[in-house]
Amino acid sequence: MLIKLSGEALAGSFQFGLDPTTLSYIAKEIAAVQKAGVEVGVVVGGGNFVRGETFSSEGAIERTVADQMGMLGTLMNALALQSAVETQGVQTRVQSAVNVAQVAEMFIRRRAMRHMEKGRVVVFAAGTGNPYFTTDTAAVLRALEIDADLLIKATKVDGVYDKDPKKHADAVKYDSVAYSTAIEQRLGVMDQTAFTMCREHRLPLIVLDFNKPGSLLRAVLGEDEGTLVGG
């Protein structure tokens, strides 16, 4: 399976950067899934460092450059996550979509799959390697490339709601929802490019609250957790 972790998730209670306590918690959750015998890949975001679109919006920094900075941010997250997961006794590899030979392997699909077969968690960094994309799209892309059975989007919300639960007290959570409903009702599960790809290739997606201990493992074991997007 493939887990998409936003940069924000790694920042914990901080507005920016990385929170070691949160990293340690996330690493334990991921290690538990790997120890249960599941092959695990992780795509990390970089919004806790730079989001290209926002960072370039005032015009001082070119969009492409800002996006490259964003991708390098994901690489920092990947290295931190790698170390934290290894502290939990699980081997890992970081594979980057841009060449940073001194710190990480390049993304090579077959090699990534071999690592996972051997029980190593593979952390995919630098998104798709191209500007104007997001790590959500990278997550769908990598999930399809490694033939993942399931994509998990780990967020701060415990699933998909019919409206924003932060703004509406009467928002109702879906246990499962069809891709078409999510698109029609603009439920904001992922960005449109990522989500369209997900739907086109019928990749099942579970959106869950990562801050709930054991949620990842429960979802993988097929227990009710978060919202299943599919159909």
Say if residue 130 carries a ligand binding annotation: yes
Q: Are strands 151-155 and 205-209 parallel, antiparallel or unpaired?
A: parallel
Say if residue 46 carries a ligand binding annotation: yes
Cβ 201 to ligand UDP shortest distance, Å? 18
Cβ 118 to ligand UDP shortest distance, Å? 27
- Is 135 or 227 the residue whose CB approaches ligand UDP more closely? 135
What SS3 state is found at 44?
A: strand
Rule CB under 6 A: which residues touch ligand UDP?
A: 6-8, 45-47, 51-53, 66-67, 70-71, 73-74, 127-128, 130-131, 133-136, 138
Say if residue 204 carries a ligand binding annotation: no
Residues 6+ apart with CB under 8 A from 114: none
CB-CB neighbours of 46 under 10 Å: 28
Cβ 109 to ligand UDP shortest distance, Å? 16
Cβ 112 to ligand UDP shortest distance, Å? 16
Say if residue 132 carries a ligand binding annotation: yes
DSSP letters, 60-120, are SS-HHHHHHHHHHHHHHHHHHHHHHHHHTT--EEEEESS--TTTSEEP-HHHHHHHHHTTP
- Is 106 or 178 the residue whose CB approaches ligand UDP more closely? 106
Q: Is the dihedral of CA 46, 165, 174, 181 positive or negative?
A: negative
Say if residue 164 carries a ligand binding annotation: yes
Q: Of 47, 72, 49, which Cα lies nearest the Cα of 129?
A: 72
- Is 91 or 211 the residue whose CB approaches ligand UDP more closely? 211
Say if residue 4 carries a ligand binding annotation: yes
- Is 74 or 92 the residue whose CB approaches ligand UDP more closely? 74
Write out the binding residues for ATP. 4-7, 47, 51, 155, 161, 164
